[in-house]
């Protein structure tokens, strides 16, 4: 791409009102992996590896997700997300599928003016590579978010095996000559609920066929067509992706490389963890004689009151200088936007009101907070 072309495209973005923070996707450069970086098996509806991306697998096959340093040359990426088929399914049943997606808060999409005659065109771009060539599906699911759900479908092809290719998809609010998005039913409430789900569809059964290319549909089961590859048909198949960007406008501008610190903060709105031996988990006090309450402050305000998952190994956590050791926290209470209290009621005994602090007692200690969409 020439420098003049890049400047022209950035000029178009400026006209739309954004030069920075133009990428609506969080962690599109696959920088942040808080949960795991090694190959992790996908179960249906899994957040377990690369931050902000959710994976689905409902077939007779199986695949894993892992971090990879295989990236398109000269594009400034350090990592890609790699998928590998571990169990093949050579014949999908009608209701089976394999997909991954990122969900975007509705309040972060208000600049699109969906639900009005001024609804804006958006452009999605990404780098992709796979050992399996053929037709795949890109889907944009506009969640109801207080109104009506619609589904957009566009096919894209992997033309050469094991070769990085850049794909660009431009989505008009009237794609397919429809008025779904420009009518009031297409509006997105300014809320913390899901506004968009941005999908890559790897394999899809006949129950989800019937889509029309480059079109919005009110049938939210029409994810693809019979031409979609079955990526799960061989354990030789892999799939890599990085540089996923969604922006306002009709042109795909150069990928917006944000700092790791900025990307991490955006991810921590949805997921955050404390882990490790000698790591401070929080300060607290004995509430009564057999309960210890521990205050945790978030690094950023989370999207909503999070769920908590605590490791559960003998003596994972310790109350210092109290001498109490326990395997797991019992639950959470007193949530506000800045943090919450964790409490434990097993294996603890102290003086009512006495202040202590809690730390990881061994390397397996971990507490995870999730406010994912």
Q: What pLDDT is stored for residue 270 in this prediction? A: 98
- Residue by residue, DSSP assigns 326-352 as ES---EEEEEETTEEEEEE-SS----T
Residue 41 in tokens? 């098996």
Q: What pLDDT is stored for residue 145 in this prediction? A: 87
Q: By three-state DSSP, how is residue 104 classified?
A: strand
Residue 78 in tokens? 């350090």
Please state, in angstroms and rounded to a whole number, the distance separating the CA atoms of residues 78 and 50: 13
Residue 259, judged by CB atoms within 10 A of its CB (0-12, 13-18, 19+), counts as exposed
Q: By three-state DSSP, how is residue 88 classified?
A: coil
User: Do 63 and 85 contact (CB within 8 A), yes or no?
Assistant: yes
Q: What pLDDT is stored for residue 20 in this prediction? A: 83
Residue 198, judged by CB atoms within 10 A of its CB (0-12, 13-18, 19+), counts as buried
User: Do 237 and 129 contact (CB within 8 A), yes or no?
Assistant: no
pTM exceeding the 0.85 threshold for the entire prediction: yes
Which one-letter DSSP state was computed for residue 9? H
Q: What pLDDT is stored for residue 335 in this prediction? A: 93
pLDDT, one tens digit for every residue, the chain (373 residues): 556 555 555 555 555 545 789 999 999 999 999 999 999 999 989 899 999 999 999 999 999 999 999 999 999 999 999 999 999 999 999 999 999 999 999 999 999 999 999 999 999 999 999 999 999 999 999 999 889 999 999 999 999 999 999 999 999 999 999 999 999 999 999 999 999 999 999 999 999 999 999 999 999 999 999 999 999 999 999 999 999 999 999 999 999 999 999 999 999 999 999 999 999 999 999 999 999 999 999 999 999 999 999 999 999 999 997 789 999 999 999 999 899 999 999 999 999 999 999 999 999 999 999 999 9
Q: What pLDDT is stored for residue 5 in this prediction? A: 58
Please state, in angstroms and rounded to a whole number, the distance separating the CA atoms of residues 326 and 318: 6
Q: What pLDDT is stored for residue 18 in this prediction? A: 57
Cα angle vertex 274, ends 349, 34, to 5°? 155
What CA–CA distances, in Å, run from 164 to 73, 190, 214, 243, 264? Answer: 9, 37, 23, 11, 26
Q: What pLDDT is stored for residue 321 in this prediction? A: 79
What CA–CA distances, in Å, run from 108 to 25, 79, 100, 113? Answer: 10, 26, 20, 11
């Amino acid at each position: 791409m020439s420098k003049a072309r890049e400047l022209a495209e950035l000029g178009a973005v400026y006209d739309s009102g954004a030069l920075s923070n133009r990428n609506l996707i969080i962690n599109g450069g696959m920088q942040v992996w808080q949960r795991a970086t090694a190959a992790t098996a996908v179960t249906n509806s899994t957040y377990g590896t690369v931050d902000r991306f959710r994976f689905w697998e409902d077939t007779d096959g199986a695949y894993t997700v892992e971090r990879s340093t295989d990236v398109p040359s000269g594009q400034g990426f350090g990592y890609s997300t790699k998928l590998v088929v571990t169990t093949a399914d050579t014949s999908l049943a009608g209701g089976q599928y394999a997909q991954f997606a990122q969900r975007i808060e509705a309040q972060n999409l208000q600049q699109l003016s969906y639900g009005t005659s001024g609804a804006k065109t958006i452009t999605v771009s990404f780098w992709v590579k796979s050992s399996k060539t053929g037709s795949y599906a890109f889907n944009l699911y506009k969640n109801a978010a207080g109104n009506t759900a619609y589904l957009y479908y566009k096919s894209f092809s992997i033309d050469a095996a094991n070769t990085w290719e850049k794909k660009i998809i431009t989505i008009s609010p009237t794609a397919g000559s429809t008025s779904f998005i420009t009518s009031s039913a297409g509006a997105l409430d300014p809320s913390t609920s899901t506004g968009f789900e941005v999908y890559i569809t790897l394999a899809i059964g006949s129950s989800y066929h019937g889509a029309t290319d480059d079109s919005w549909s009110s049938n939210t089961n029409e994810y693809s067509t019979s031409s979609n590859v079955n990526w799960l048909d061989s354990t030789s198949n892999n799939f890599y992706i990085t540089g996923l960007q969604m922006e306002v406008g009709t042109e795909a501008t150069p990928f917006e490389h944000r700092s790791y610190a900025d990307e991490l903060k955006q991810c921590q709105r949805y997921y955050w963890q404390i882990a490790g031996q000698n790591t401070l988990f929080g300060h607290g006090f004995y509430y009564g004689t057999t309960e210890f309450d521990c205050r945790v402050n978030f690094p950023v305000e989370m999207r909503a009151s999070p769920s908590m998952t605590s490791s559960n190994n003998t003596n994972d956590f310790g109350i210092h200088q109290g001498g109490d050791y326990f395997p797991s926290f019992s639950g959470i209470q007193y949530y506000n936007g800045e943090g919450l209290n964790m409490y434990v009621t097993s294996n603890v005994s102290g003086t009512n009101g006495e202040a202590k602090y809690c730390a990881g007692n061994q390397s397996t200690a971990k507490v995870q907070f999730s406010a994912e969409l």
